[in-house]
Structure 1
Amino acid sequence: MDNNPSIHVYNEWDIVVARQSGRDLAKSLGFGEVDQARITTAISELARNIYLYAKQGEIEVSPVYEGDKVGIKIISRDNGPGIKDVMKALEDGYSTSGGLGAGLPGVKRLMDEFSIESSEGKGTLVTAVKWKLF
């Protein structure tokens, strides 16, 4: 059985479930409280983007190992409208929903690795990794 099932995001409660899943995993891997908060915030922003823009999608949170490093990988995937201008969406303060425009740029800052792929009319895939510091 898959130990890290995807969390389907359809409503605001699913955002809470995704956040808690990430916090629980971060805690179990020995991340400190500050990094737990960073991971939880990143998950929250990505899940909220799914809810606001795509209406549905999924968040997957899983451990990742590279040599002796341990981290958490967050994958956010949806089949929504996609992002018209990814570079613009990564600018602080840019928002198409009237929000603060801190979501994607914030996730990029909070995490150690960040990538985004988006196609208009086909959806968006965001992958982010936070490595545990020893």
Structure 2
Amino acid sequence: MLGAQARECEQILPLRGDEDVVRLRRQVRDSMVAMGFGLIEQTKIITAASELARNTLRYGGGGEARIARISDGARQGLELRFIDAGPGIADIALALTDGYTSGGGLGLGLGGARRLADAFHIDTAPGAGTTVIIAKWKLF
């Protein structure tokens, strides 16, 4: 996954509709503000979270997002997990390619989220759903 880290304060939010994406964005912002992240870092992760939440809805048929504070030595951060039980992704490399889309979008979701986060992991298989994990780190 993303390495050995201590996890705490996990929150689980359902992703069933657009209002859940708005709720998730607000919760991610509040968590990042509470941890002392600057506006640029907040904007990057909120954007990535929005893209991944919309992918969870559009391609996975809905699911959940998990928000947790993580720590690893002198670093503390925020980890976001997006979990669905949808059809999975047959070709991860292709799905991460800018411009690729299987649903008529701009094709920037997964690759863009990967660039905006400090850590990115995807676990998927055809017929087995998808879990995408991103993290943003801060030295304290």
- TM-score (structure 2 length as normaliser): 0.91
Residue matched to 1:127: 133
Report the 3-state secondary structure (helix = DSSP H, G, I; strand = E; otherwise coil) of the residue aligned with 2:90.
coil
Structure 2 counterpart of 1:59 = 65
In 2, distance between residues paired with 1:133 and 1:92? 30
The correspondence for 1:6, drawn from 8, 12, 21, is 12
Q: Deviations over 1:38-96 (max 9, x none)?
A: 11111101100011011211111111111111111011111001011111000000000
Give the 4+ runs in structure 1 shifted more than 6 A: none
Q: Name the stretch that deviates more: 124-133 or 110-119.
A: 124-133
CA contact (8 A) 2:74 2:139 kept: no
Q: CA RMSD for the aligned pairs?
A: 1.3
Counterpart code for 2:63: G
- Unaligned ranges ≥5, structure 1: none
TM value normalised by structure 1: 0.95
- Could you tell me which residue of structure 1 aligns to residue 4 of structure 2? none
Task: Give the distance between the partners of 1:116 and 1:9, measured in 2 at CA.
Answer: 18
What residue in structure 2 maps to residue 117 of structure 1?
123
Quote the sequence identity (%). 41
Greater RCO (Cα-Cα under 8 Å, separation 6 or more): 2
Matched, 1:25 2:28: no
What is the number of equivalent residue pairs in this alignment?
A: 133
